[in-house]
Structure 1
């Protein structure tokens, strides 16, 4: 459980620090776009009021709190599911990735009303219109890790 907590803390801090540096210190929220390694990596500001790719975004104050509650419920559910189980360290790390990312996006919703997305990657003539953040990457990696590495028999 300590490994899960440490991983979640590291992901949470990395997410929030990256958002602060890129969005506010580098003023991406004013500039809207910063070419880093075009077209492979561009910082492109997007305030996401919905879930992935802006799904369920409707500018409703109520939806903001529904998504906060959902992220907190998923985080609590992962903790409940893994509690008391003997798992390989990779499972605790995966849980930490998912929870740290979820909490990073929760803080954005509470503070700003939307999630600060800024990473945009395109390649090979394919233009990607969507932006994401470190928390989104961590949630994806954590979910995949839990599916792939969690044992059903509660053994190591």
Structure 2
């Protein structure tokens, strides 16, 4: 193997890449399985809002934008542009994963990559991302609704939270003098 080929291999595969890749695969598969079940078996689209717990409903929404419904893109150009951004983001996260020195970092990046891929599959199949979990609190006089999300979103947020935790308290976090 040439030196250039070895460098490319190290750029894309490191000692903890398998952990991140397996995490991404499981995350993406769980996300897609939940959506397939809710869309095809349970048929959430025809049921409307379904109360799961006093503070959790299943309600189907199609998100043509990104987080919190920002940057809604109804047309094909916008959808392909968002998909291209996801591909670039996943590629950059994969390079970071290949250089990861901590199992926690590899796990976090796997969660983020798997979530991004799960939502990208929706965008390819449906032209929008299927969101279905609605958290809410209500009293007699007011109601608070969180945004509607899916398992891929949970994985992405968990991955980012783990990275933040590790940046403050992890082995490589800056230490006080």
In structure 2, relative to structure 1, the CA distance for the partners of 1:124 and 1:20 (3 Å cut) is same
Secondary structure at 1:123's aligned position in 2?
strand
Which structure has the larger Rg?
2
Q: Are residue 83 (structure 1) and residue 83 (structure 2) matched?
A: no
Q: Which residue of 2 aligns with 1:36?
A: 52
Q: Which residue of 2 aligns with 1:96?
A: 110
Q: Are residue 61 (structure 1) and residue 76 (structure 2) matched?
A: yes
Q: Are residue 5 (structure 1) and residue 30 (structure 2) matched?
A: no
In structure 2, relative to structure 1, the CA distance for the partners of 1:79 and 1:152 (3 Å cut) is farther
Q: Which residue of 1 aligns with 2:38?
A: 22
Task: Measure the CA separation in 2 of the matches of 1:58 and 1:13.
Answer: 25
Q: Are residue 134 (structure 1) and residue 148 (structure 2) matched?
A: no
Maintained 8 Å contact 1:23/1:118: no
- Shift of residue 127 of structure 1? 2.4
Alignment root-mean-square deviation, CA: 1.8
Task: Measure the CA separation in 2 of the matches of 1:84 and 1:103.
Answer: 20
Maintained 8 Å contact 1:44/1:119: yes
Q: Are residue 52 (structure 1) and residue 93 (structure 2) matched?
A: no
Compute the TM-score of the two structures, normalised by the length of structure 2. Answer: 0.79
Q: How many residues end up aligned between the 2 structures?
A: 151
Task: Measure the CA separation in 1 of the matches of 2:60 and 2:31.
Answer: 15
Maintained 8 Å contact 2:111/2:158: yes
Residues 142-153 of structure 1 correspond to what in structure 2 (within 5 A)? 142-149=159-166, 151=172
Maintained 8 Å contact 2:48/2:59: yes
- Between stretches 143-152 and 12-21, larger displacement belongs to 143-152
Compute the TM-score of the two structures, normalised by the length of structure 1. Answer: 0.89
